[in-house]
C-alpha cells in the first residue's frame, strides 16, 4: 500500500519546501513533487506543515513513580512517535535484566515506538561489566544520578568514574543528572529546621549553584575518564555555559533541556493551596533569566535537544500532597510528553525564538541522533514514515480536559496553542487525529539504539561494529 502526503510544506532540520512524501508500507519511499500518481491513496496536506514525528529522548514511564505505558497515547496526539524511556533497576538486578523487564511492560501496550535508556539504581561491584552488556540489548545510554542522595539512585564519584570508563570503552553514552548532592542535603536540612516546608523551598534547596557545580564536576570527571558526556535536563545558565565551553574546547560534552525549563519558571512552585507541588521536579524550575539563556542555547545549538522528562506521578495531585508539611517528600516529576511539541512551537517558533528548522532539529532529528535511532527523526527516503501534519491555523489552549496522560492536572494549563498536530502517522499508519488517538493501543514497537551515537561521533572508529 502506497500513500502520498501531498502539497504540504515539508519541514526538515535544514530546509522547507512545498511538496509530497510517498510512503510505501512503513517507510518513506520518496520526497519530492508530483508523487501523487504513484500512490494508492492521497492525503491532502495543503496548508499543513509536514514534520518528522517527534522523538522524546527522555521519559519516565514507571520510573520515579510515573504512570506506565498505557498512558502513551498522550505522546501520539502531541506528535511524538518515539519515546526513549528510562528502565528502572531493582536491587540485585542487572541493568540488562532491568531493561528486558521494562520492555515486557511496554510490549503490546505502548502506542508509539520505544527504545530504552538504562539507569543505575544499584551500583554493584560488576557495574562496568553490566554497562558493557547494554549495546547487546539495544541500549545506547546509561544515566547516573549525582543527586538524590539517600535513595538508590545516588552514585558517588568513585563508582561514577568507573562507570564512565566502562561506558567509554563500549560506546555507551554516559548521561548524568548533575546536581551537587551535598548542597541539596545541607540546604534541605536548614530550610526544614526553619519550618520552611512549602513547595517553593524545593527550589531554594536546589539552588542554581548546585547544578552549576554538579555540571562542572561531571565534566571534569568525564575529562579524566576520557568519556563523552550527555548532561540531562540542563536548567541554569552557568551549567549550560559549562557544557558549551567544554564542547568548544574540544571535549565531547553535550546537553539537553526540557520544555518546562524553557516555558515555566520558579513562580509556579509558589502557587497557593499547595498547587506548587504539581511543578516539583528536579532540577527545579528556575527564575526567568535562566529560561532566557536556555532559549539562546537551543537556538544556537549549545544544547542539542528538548525532551519532556515526562513523569506523570501516579495518583496525580493527591500523590503530590504526600509532601504537605515537608517539601522534600513531594514526589518529583512533571508530565509533558503530550505538550512538548505544541509548547515548543507556540513559545519557540511563533515567538521568533527558534526557526521551524530548529524546531524539527530539537524535537526529532537531534534526539534520534543523540540516542542512535537510525530510522527516526527525518523525512528522508528509507526512514520510518513517522509524520506529523501540523495545522498552524488551529487555536485553542492546553487543558487537562484534553490530556491523555492520565493525571488530574497538566503543567501547561491555559497556555495558548498555536496550531496542533492534525494527523500523526506512525510507520505509515494514522494513529492520531485532531487531538484524539485513533488506532488500536499498543502499536509501538521496540527499537534498538546503536551505541557510539552522537556523543561519540567525533571520537571513535568503532561505530560500525554494531548492526542489528
For Zn ion, the closer CB: 319 or 443: 319
| Binds ligand URP (CB under 6 A): choice among 23, 281, 298, 411 | 281
Q: Which residues make beta-bridge pairs with 229?
A: 174, 253
Q: Which has the closest alpha carbon to 80: 298, 345, 452, 454?
A: 345
Alpha helices (H) along 123-272? 127-133, 157-170, 181-193, 200-205, 208-225, 237-248, 259-263
Residue 333 binding: pick among ligand URP, Zn ion, none (C-beta 5-8 Å cut-off by kind)? ligand URP
Interaction between residue 311 and ligand URP (CB under 6 A)? yes
Give residue for cell 512551537.
Answer: 345
Q: Which has the closest alpha carbon to 88: 159, 170, 145?
A: 145
Q: Which of residues 237-266 bind ligand URP (CB under 6 A)?
A: none
The number of C-alpha atoms within 13 Å of 459 and in the hemisphere containing its C-beta is 23
Interaction between residue 309 and ligand URP (CB under 6 A)? yes
Residue 332 binding: pick among Zn ion, ligand URP, none (C-beta 5-8 Å cut-off by kind)? ligand URP
Q: How many residues touch ligand URP (CB under 6 A)?
A: 10
Interaction between residue 333 and ligand URP (CB under 6 A)? yes
| Binds Zn ion (CB under 5 A): choice among 117, 137, 168, 177 | 177
Interaction between residue 306 and ligand URP (CB under 6 A)? no
Interaction between residue 282 and ligand URP (CB under 6 A)? yes
Q: Which range touches Zn ion (CB under 5 A), out of 172-180, 234-242, 360-368, 423-431?
A: 172-180
The number of C-alpha atoms within 13 Å of 23 and in the hemisphere containing its C-beta is 22
> First and final CA of the chain: distance in angstroms?
26
Interaction between residue 339 and ligand URP (CB under 6 A)? no
Residue 89 binding: pick among Zn ion, ligand URP, none (C-beta 5-8 Å cut-off by kind)? none
Instruction: Give the nearest distance from C-beta 258 to Zn ion in angstroms.
Output: 8
Interaction between residue 260 and Zn ion (CB under 5 A)? no
Instruction: Give the nearest distance from C-beta 65 to ligand URP in angstroms.
Output: 9
For Zn ion, the closer CB: 176 or 387: 176
For ligand URP, the closer CB: 155 or 417: 155
Residue 49 binding: pick among Zn ion, ligand URP, none (C-beta 5-8 Å cut-off by kind)? none
Interaction between residue 332 and ligand URP (CB under 6 A)? yes
Q: How far apart are CA 194 and CA 1, in angstroms?
A: 67
Instruction: Give the nearest distance from C-beta 175 to Zn ion in angstroms.
Output: 8
Q: Which of residues 295-354 bind Zn ion (CB under 5 A)?
A: 309
Residue 281 binding: pick among Zn ion, ligand URP, none (C-beta 5-8 Å cut-off by kind)? ligand URP
Q: What is the DSSP string of 367-393?
A: HHHHHT-TTSS--STTSB--EEEEEEE
For Zn ion, the closer CB: 290 or 423: 290
Q: How many residues touch Zn ion (CB under 5 A)?
A: 2
Sort 16 into a burial class: Cβ within 10 Å, 0-12 / 13-18 / 19+.
middle
Q: How far apart are CA 309 and CA 63, in angstroms?
A: 11
Q: Which of residues 52-111 bind ligand URP (CB under 6 A)?
A: 60, 64
Interaction between residue 407 and ligand URP (CB under 6 A)? no
For ligand URP, the closer CB: 39 or 176: 176
Contacts of 217 (CB under 8 A, 6+ apart): 146, 178, 180
Grouping H, G, I as helix, E, B as strand and the rest as coil, residue 416 is strand
For ligand URP, the closer CB: 64 or 327: 64
Q: 200: which 3 cell numbers?
A: 517553593
The number of C-alpha atoms within 13 Å of 233 and in the hemisphere containing its C-beta is 25
Omega into 283 within 30° of 0, i.e. cis? yes
Q: Which of residues 174-213 bind ligand URP (CB under 6 A)?
A: 177
Asked whether 231 and 141 are in contact (CB, 8 A), the reply is no
Grouping H, G, I as helix, E, B as strand and the rest as coil, residue 352 is coil
Q: Which has the closest alpha carbon to 416: 335, 326, 342, 341?
A: 342
Where on the chain is the footprint of Zn ion (CB under 5 A)?
177, 309
Where on the chain is the footprint of ligand URP (CB under 6 A)?
60, 64, 177, 233, 281-282, 309, 311, 332-333
Amino acid at each position: 500500500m502506497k500513500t502520498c502526503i501531498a502539497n504540504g510544506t515539508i519541514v526538515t532540520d535544514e530546509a522547507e519546501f512545498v511538496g509530497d512524501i510517498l510512503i510505501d508500507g512503513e517507510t518513506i519511499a520518496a520526497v519530492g513533487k508530483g508523487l501523487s500518481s504513484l500512490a494508492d491513496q492521497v492525503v491532502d496536506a495543503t496548508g499543513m506543515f509536514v514534520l518528522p514525528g517527534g522523538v522524546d529522548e527522555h521519559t519516565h514511564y514507571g520510573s520515579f513513580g510515573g504512570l506506565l505505558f498505557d498512558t502513551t497515547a498522550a505522546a501520539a496526539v502531541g506528535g511524538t512517535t518515539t519515546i526513549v524511556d528510562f528502565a528502572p533497576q531493582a536491587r540485585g538486578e542487572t541493568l540488562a535484566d532491568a531493561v528486558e523487564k521494562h520492555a515486557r511492560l511496554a510490549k503490546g501496550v505502548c502506542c508509539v515506538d520505544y527504545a530504552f535508556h538504562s539507569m543505575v539504581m544499584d551500583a554493584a561491584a560488576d557495574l562496568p561489566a553490566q554497562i558493557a552488556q547494554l549495546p547487546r540489548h539495544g541500549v545506547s545510554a546509561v544515566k547516573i544520578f549525582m543527586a538524590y542522595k539517600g535513595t538508590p539512585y545516588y552514585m558517588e564519584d568513585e563508582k561514577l568514574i568507573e562507570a564512565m570508563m566502562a561506558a567509554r570503552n563500549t560506546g555507551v553514552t554516559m548521561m548524568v543528572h548533575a546536581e551537587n548532592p551535598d548542597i541539596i542535603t545541607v540546604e534541605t536540612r536548614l530550610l526544614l529546621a526553619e519550618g520552611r516546608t512549602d513547595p517553593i523551598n524545593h527550589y531554594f534547596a536546589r539552588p542554581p549553584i548546585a547544578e552549576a557545580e554538579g555540571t562542572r564536576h561531571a565534566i571534569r570527571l568525564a575529562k579524566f575518564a576520557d568519556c563523552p558526556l550527555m548532561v540531562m535536563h540542563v536548567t541554569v545558565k552557568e551549567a549550560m555555559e559549562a557544557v558549551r565551553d567544554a564542547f568548544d574546547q574540544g571535549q565531547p560534552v553535550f546537553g539537553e533541556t526540557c520544555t518546562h525549563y524553557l516555558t515555566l519558571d520558579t513562580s509556579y512552585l509558589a502557587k497557593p493551596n499547595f498547587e506548587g507541588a504539581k511543578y516539583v521536579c528536579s532540577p527545579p524550575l528556575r527564575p526567568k533569566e535562566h529560561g532566557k539563556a536556555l532559549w539562546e542555547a537551543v537556538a544556537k545549538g549549545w544544547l542539542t535537544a528538548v525532551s519532556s522528562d515526562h513523569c506523570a506521578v501516579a495518583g496525580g495531585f493527591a500523590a503530590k500532597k504526600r509532601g504537605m508539611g515537608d517539601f522534600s517528600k513531594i514526589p518529583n516529576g512533571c508530565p509533558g510528553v503530550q505538550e512538548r511539541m505544541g509548547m515548543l512551537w507556540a513559545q519557540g517558533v511563533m515567538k521568533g525564538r527558534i526557526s521551524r528548522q530548529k524546531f524539527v532539529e530539537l524535537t526529532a532529528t537531534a534526539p534520534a541522533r543523540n540516542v542512535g535511532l537510525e530510522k527516526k527523526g527525518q523525512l528522508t527516503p528509507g526512514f520510518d514514515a513517522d509524520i506529523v501534519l501540523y495545522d498552524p491555523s488551529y487555536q485553542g489552549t492546553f487543558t487537562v480536559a484534553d490530556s491523555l496522560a492520565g493525571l488530574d492536572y497538566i503543567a501547561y494549563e491555559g497556555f495558548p496553542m498555536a496550531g496542533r498536530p492534525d494527523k500523526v502517522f506512525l510507520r505509515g499508519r494514522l494513529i492520531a487525529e485532531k487531538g484524539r488517538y485513533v488506532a488500536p493501543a499498543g502499536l509501538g514497537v521496540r527499537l534498538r539504539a546503536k551505541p557510539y551515537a552522537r556523543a561519540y561521533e567525533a571520537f571513535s572508529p568503532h561505530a560500525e561494529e554494531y548492526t542489528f
